[in-house]
A and B are shown apart, each in its own frame.
Chain A
Amino acid sequence: MNHRMLRLLLLAVIPGFLFPFSVKSQSGDTTESKISTAKIVLVQAVMCEDLLERIPQNPTTIFSIERRKAICFTSFDPVSEKTIIYHQWFHRDQTSAKIKLTLKSPRWSTYSSIQFRAEDIGPWRVEISDSQGHILDVLRFSITE
């Protein structure tokens, strides 16, 4: 496992929120979003600069490298049973990290984040997939100067 993966895994936090979110997803691929699997329904997926009291702050698709981090926030309702999902981060088409996150019944919110380095400038995407590998949503964003 390389340093990047290790860094991302260390940064990935899995807090549980037991209330639904009203903020809409900022996904660029709406056709891929809100796909229900047998056990879970993704109700919100958003890239944001921070979380404040479990609420995504400043949802956006542009992150200045000076802000140091980006957060991929996802919320599921319902969650029929304990399961896992993945947040797979790509810089252009190269996988940067694949983060395993646990969801718990009856609904669950979770996020992963990345800390920026100078070479991370460019277009990124996060693929949110279930335990079977079905892509639930793709969030696209850019890290800029």
Chain B
Amino acid sequence: MDKFIYLILSLRWQDIIDISLVSYILFRFYILFRGTNAFRVLIGMTILWFFQQIAVSMGLIVTSWVVQGVVTLGAFIIIVIFRNEIRTVLLARNLKSIFWGGPSKTVSSTIEIIVQSILDMARRNCGALIVLPGKEDLEEVIQKGIPWEGEISKEMILSIFWPDNPVHDGATIIQGDHIAQVSAILPLSRRDDLPSYYGTRHRAALGLAEATDALIIAVSEERGDVVAAQDSQLKVIKQKRRLGQILQQHMGVAAKKSRESIKERLMVIAAALFSIIFVTGVWFSVSKGFDTLATLEIPVVYMNRDPAMEIIRTSDNTVSLELEGSGALIKSINPDQIQVKLDLSKSKVGPNSFTITRESISLPPGIILKGLTPPVVDVDLDVLIKKELPVQIDWVGKLPDHFVLTEATIKPKKVEIIGGKRMLKKMSTIYTEKVPLNNLEDKGTITANLALNPASLKTASDSNEKVTITYATKLRDQETK
């Protein structure tokens, strides 16, 4: 418990932002992609990843390899196979909806489609008869029509009742969100108290309403009015809102919608909570897991050197950093992420000593510096000058005993070298790199690089780093050994 409290208290404000940001990204990812195939595959991949981690921890080498391969390939497969789906999700939303808000419904509900279709047909004086069954079975009451089994849409309903359509006569039966039958024959009401302007369509509507608990909507071809028949009664509907209410009441949508809405909200809240808990868990396991020590050799970067000066010698080019952090973080450290920088802006010509402080070292978040070696670095600086130096060949190897090298000329004989003043003051010759004697012929020409040692030396821009050696050998006059 104390450890948990310590962990909570040790959280920095950056850590809170870190967790919040990643949690929100995960949550938005769920909101944007839920219901898509890509999301389902992604869930599968996540489960596989957990499986692989378990396999690794249990030492199942081949299993972990195989699963790792599948997961690695899976990432590419998701992007390639579901690229259109991903693009659709992202393109269908504006930038605001990607970062905020719930998914917008692009398809109207069944009731909205029915209401809009009925009102549209009423406006056009297009006769229609729509049956929305209740709980009772209609099989015994109606004369079966033509099976349709089409997904409901406004265009579909309008085309069914279009006067030139062969199936426009009779009733269309809508079950759920699809059209089950068209051109169905309903029983006619025998009541004689109906107004004379109600025709066969209205009698059929009332007839079915008398026999069952179905809701029947009739649109008058002559007057364009809308009548709802239910429970042996005919009701003239003049308002769109009223029509919608009757339909919702009949289909029990209001309660269903409310339940769905609550369920939907609970799902979103659950997803949000899961995102926070998951990311917090991952964050703690990564950044506050069991402490691990590691020692890394990091090169020292010398900065802000006066351009007129040159580093002649350094006591150390690398420092050994002793780092502490969670095992995962330590394992994931790339040496490029760590830098040891020494500021030479206040250095002077000659030997300088720099203490490596914590400020000189940049570390990835979550990594703590426990120690470093050496704590002090000596840097020898010098002013750059040019000096012309004669070139000398640095022969190595051995000539055959009976040969003697009679001539060896170098071109150019002198080169201009740039380097530290104190260094060049001591130098009176620049040597070539080692030139082997073993392969020399009677005479010939070879090229050799200058040995610019120390590395801070360089040739002036108009001097070449290569020299040409022309040589000649001859047989020894006599043995003098």
Contacts and interface: CB of A to CB of B under 8 A. Distances in A.
Interface of A: 26, 28-29, 31, 49-50, 52, 57-62, 64, 66-68, 90, 92-93, 122-123, 125, 138, 140, 142, 144-145
B481 interface: yes
B12 interface: no
Interface of B: 390, 392-399, 401, 404-410, 413, 426-429, 431, 437, 476-478, 480-481
Nearest to B405: A62
Given A59-B406, A62-B437, A142-B394, A49 B480 contact: yes
A50 B392 contact: no
Binding site of A, secondary structure by majority: helix, strand, loop or mixed?
strand
B279 to A, nearest CB: 65
Nearest to B435: A142
Given A92-B431, A140-B390, A142-B395, 17 more contacts: A28-B390, A28-B410, A29-B390, A49-B480, A59-B406, A61-B393, A61-B395, A62-B405, A62-B408, A62-B437, A66-B481, A92-B429, A93-B429, A123-B393, A123-B431, A144-B395, A144-B399
B371 to A, nearest CB: 41
A125 B93 CA distance: 82
A92 B101 CA distance: 79
Nearest to A67: B481
A60 B404 contact: yes
Contacts of B394: 122-123, 142
Nearest to A122: B394
A62 B440 CA distance: 12
Q: Which of A49, A57, A62, A125 has the most CB of B within 10 A?
A: A62
18 contacts: A26-B406, A29-B390, A49-B480, A58-B404, A58-B478, A58-B480, A59-B406, A61-B395, A61-B405, A62-B399, A62-B408, A66-B481, A68-B481, A93-B428, A123-B393, A123-B431, A144-B396, A144-B437
Contacts of A59: 406
A138 B428 CA distance: 11
Contact of A29 (B395, B396, B404, B413): B413
A90 B477 CA distance: 28
Given A66-B481, A125-B429, A49 B404 contact: yes
B408 A61 contact: yes
A93 B476 CA distance: 30
Given A57-B477, A58-B476, A62-B399, A123 B429 contact: yes
Q: What 5 A-B pairs are tightest by C-beta distance, nearest first?
A: A142-B395, A50-B480, A62-B405, A145-B398, A58-B404
Contacts, number: 78
Q: Which of B405, B406, B407 has the most CB of A within 10 A?
A: B405
B185 to A, nearest CB: 118
Contacts of B408: 28, 61-62
A52 to B, nearest CB: 8
A123 B437 CA distance: 13
B36 to A, nearest CB: 75
Contacts of A90: 428
B398 A142 contact: no
Contacts of B396: 144-145
Nearest to A68: B481
Contacts of A66: 481
Contacts of A92: 429, 431
Given A28-B410, A29-B413, A92-B429, A138 B405 contact: no
B397 to A, nearest CB: 6
Q: Which of B397, B404, B478 has the most CB of A within 10 A?
A: B404
Contacts of A125: 392, 429
Given A28-B413, A142-B394, A144-B396, A58 B428 contact: no
A31 B409 CA distance: 13
Contacts of B401: 64
B11 to A, nearest CB: 63
Q: Which of A66, A90, A123 has the most CB of B within 10 A?
A: A123
A61 B393 CA distance: 10
Nearest to A69: B480
A62 B480 contact: no
A67 B392 CA distance: 22
Nearest to B396: A144
